[in-house]
Structure 1
Amino acid sequence: MIFRFIFLFLILFIVELYAFQVLKTLIKSRPVLFIIEGLSLLFLVYIAYSLMQFDRSVGQTHKTMFTMALLLIVYVPKLILTLVLIGEDIFRLGAGAVNYFANYDKGAEFLNSRRKFVSQVGLGIAAVPFLSLIYGITVGKYNYKVIKQRIFFPDLPAGFDGFTITHISDVHSGSFDNAEKINYAIDLVNEQNSDMILFTGDIVNTHANEMHPWIETFNKIKKHEYGKYSVLGNHDYGEYVTWPSEKDKDNNFNAIKSLYGEIGFNLLLNEHTFIQKGDDKIALVGVENWGHNFKQAGDLNKAAGQLKKEDFKVLMSHDPSHWEHVVQNDEKHYQLTLSGHTHGMQFGIEIPGYFKWSLAQYVYKQWAGLYENMGRYVYVNRGFGFHAYPGRVGIMPEITVIELKKGDKVA
């Protein structure tokens, strides 16, 4: 662990050094330079102290999220400045080497002085993530979007043509800090008037008591005609902290499972139920968390039981890597899977219908929105809450409304 900190602070030192070069090029007043560098040193000391004080028996807190926010706001822009200046240094070094060997300007220094224009460009580029990260913390994290998705299935029972499902995921209640915004989000959920609501896990960050202040709020989610169902997410297992004993961990896990019932959701633990509408029915299947790189408690075979390939199935599975590695190739043919987990990394660029990018796509093949393979679909919800970084930039918190349609068209 100590070597990781040493490596991290070595990187931060290099970043600070290059950032100082930019400031020195643009600011000629030495007192102003010293004040700015003094503030940078204070930030660095605070971040280092907070990281070293991290308590694995507690896990994420509002203080650790503040530290993460400060780290990103201060050092992501400086990292961009560093990359711009390293690019200039490579150019300066190349030009100096050419001049040294060609000897066409005997009076020139080997390395030319830094150009003010390059520093100004670097500062302009760095301002974009700086302002974006601040926006993400102050506005973005509660900028809820209702996304409506219509999906066509040739084998959908006729009685379910037009059936609507509200899908939420990744609440992470321990991160909330604004009751008014959460109440607004719950109102948005209710306004959709869907036939059924499904919640695909991560009700907390780690501890069951994180949800206690929000139980009354989430109980405002109205009863849906065809039910309220949920599954567990990876954070619901309490895997990311150190517990005094296995008994304490088990007690917390049992308390988390009870939370879903306390807010009116039926928790499906590797099991299925049938949703009946008139003479038609569909199977709702819920598995525990199964992640390619996370806890694998999900048992698809157990959850499906005696279901047949011909049965129309909606599967709730928190981690979309389950669909990628298992579900899409399963012989029972799961027509629709609903997942979450990725949060879209809470940072990216989306122009609906035209462009979508996030670092999440380098980790998950299915990371936000709808994906299809051979008539099997997975929808990945971008998440209701937030975790680690207390903000969202470009990838906004999501309430999904999925409409099931009978037919061959995809829209």
Structure 2
Amino acid sequence: MGWLVTVVSVAVFITAYLGLRVIRPLPFSAWTKRLLFLLVALLVIGQRFTWVFRFNGYHHELIDGLDLAGYTFLGFVSSFMMMLLARDLLFIVLRIINYLRPKDTRRIFFKEKQRNTRRAWLNATNALILAVAIPLTAYSTHIARGLPGVTEVDIAVSDLPKQLDGYTIAQVTDTHVGPTLKGPWVDQLVDLINAQNPDMIVHTGDMVDGRAWWLRPDVKHFEELEAPHKFFITGNHEYYSHALEWIEEARSLGFTTLVNESEVVEVNGARILVAGVPDSKAGRFYDEHTPKPREVMDQAGEHDFSLLLAHRPDMIDAADEADYDLQLSGHTHGGQFFPWTFIVGCFNPYVYGLHHHGDTALFVSRGAGYWGPPMRLGAPPEIVLITLKRK
């Protein structure tokens, strides 16, 4: 309930801000402005009501279309508003500078002539920002809804057995199959992963955004993934969408699901420990899903190399303390699109790429899909092909 209140509050603020700073200065009739305001309110706030339909068990392609339109507009508004806020911040600074000047040299902003000039300035800068935001949104949407790239990463491991030198792991994460990423995209993604011919495939969470009863036809393509070993762990979005359902669904798709569990994979006599823990906040939903990487390691069988699958990179301290060799994570999306690419680091110890934390290596993927607005800017989608190398 708290999350819903937050979302609606932000949507109301966005609608009010756009109404005051963009719609109100326009040289249109009062009725035209009211219609524009209602249209913005419908796109920003009304799209949230698709949740109500799905919560009550109703699904239709029209609802998916409304979600795509609403989320795209939300992404556009996010970029547009950041530029507006930057402009308004500059305007405030100029007002303060003007106020600090001697009284006889100050500009008077509230005379009718000055008011008209300010309105014209607002409309002109709004038009300029709009001219930048629209093509930027179109480009970002094109990148997000296309196929991800393949990032190849070599990870050197001390004392790695010769049998594991060159062993490949395909990491896919944050696919977010849901209202705007559907079965045809998943089908192409599966073909892309299979083309890498990996020895192991791991999905490190946030496979979906929605309930199993309406997304089952879209995720069924994951059962066509081809590798000797396939593993899945839960991300935070599985818990927003009845995680227990998705754990069973992942098993039916051919994944070995790891919920504070591990499995030893043998490769020509060498042994890889694959451990998996739930999302770091999963204990809020189910007590038994509180992540326990130390206990998983303590109960693990003998092995030559240890791999921890953890959705969020914030598990790295526990992974290092438990002596895992490598942790694979996602969750951050690399920020997904500007300006969040600069903000996401405030909430995560690592945002993207290969890092060495103590004696544990960590790779954080930007993910293959997107959440919310179908936009990627400065953080293109990816699948990761990891090759273990003997140091």
**Superposition TM-score tier, normalisation by shorter sequence:** 0.7 to 0.9
Partner residue of 2:318? 326
**Mean alpha-carbon deviation: is it higher for 310-319 or for 372-381?**
310-319
Partner SS state of residue 118, structure 2: coil
- Verify: 1:235 aligned to 2:250, yes or no: no
- Verify: 1:375 aligned to 2:359, yes or no: yes
Question: How far does the alpha carbon of each residue in 1:303-339 deviate from its partner, in whole angstroms, 9 at most, with x for none?
Answer: 223459984211111222112x4222x1x31110011
Question: How far does the alpha carbon of each residue in 1:242-298 deviate from its partner, in whole angstroms, 9 at most, with x for none?
Answer: xxxxxxxxxx54432222222221112222222222232221112223249966522
Partner residue of 2:296? 303
Distance 2:243 2:315 in 1: 22
Kept in 2, the 8 Å contact 1:204–1:235? The answer is yes
Query: Residue 289 of structure 1: which of 279, 294, 310 is its match?
Result: 279
The Cα of 1:145 is off from its aligned counterpart by 1.0
Question: How far does the alpha carbon of each residue in 1:162-214 deviate from its partner, in whole angstroms, 9 at most, with x for none?
Answer: 11110111222223445443322211101111111111123322412244213
Partner residue of 2:21? 18
Matches within 5 A, 1:5-404: 9=12, 12-20=15-23, 23=26, 30=28, 35=32, 38-51=35-48, 54-55=51-52, 57=55, 62=64, 63-64=66-67, 66-74=69-77, 76-92=79-95, 94-95=97-98, 98-99=101-102, 101=103, 103-104=104-105, 109-110=108-109, 112=114, 113-114=117-118, 120=124, 123-222=127-226, 224-225=227-228, 227-237=229-239, 240=240, 253-291=243-281, 297-307=290-300, 311-323=304-316, 325-328=317-320, 330=321, 332-348=322-338, 357-404=341-388
Assess, with a 3 A threshold, how the Cα gap between structure 1 residues 178 and 317 changes in structure 2: closer, same or farther.
closer
What amino acid maps onto 2:16 in structure 1?
A: F
The Cα of 1:144 is off from its aligned counterpart by 0.9
Partner residue of 1:353? none
RMSD: 3.6
What amino acid maps onto 1:364 in structure 2?
A: N
Kept in 1, the 8 Å contact 2:232–2:255? The answer is yes
Kept in 1, the 8 Å contact 2:204–2:234? The answer is yes
Distance 2:313 2:284 in 1: 11
What amino acid maps onto 2:280 in structure 1?
A: W
Question: How far does the alpha carbon of each residue in 1:5-42 deviate from its partner, in whole angstroms, 9 at most, with x for none?
Answer: 56753553244222247655xxxxx47x9757743432
Assess, with a 3 A threshold, how the Cα gap between structure 1 residues 176 and 123 changes in structure 2: closer, same or farther.
closer
Kept in 1, the 8 Å contact 2:11–2:44? The answer is no
Return the TM-score normalized by structure 1: 0.77
How many equivalent pairs are there? 374
Distance 1:16 1:136 in 2: 25
Distance 1:57 1:178 in 2: 19
Partner residue of 1:406? 390
What amino acid maps onto 1:340 in structure 2?
A: G
What amino acid maps onto 1:229 in structure 2?
A: F
Return the TM-score normalized by structure 2: 0.80
Partner SS state of residue 174, structure 1: coil
Kept in 2, the 8 Å contact 1:140–1:391? The answer is yes
Q: Is there any run of 5+ residues in structure 1 with no aligned partner, and where? A: 25-29, 242-251, 350-355
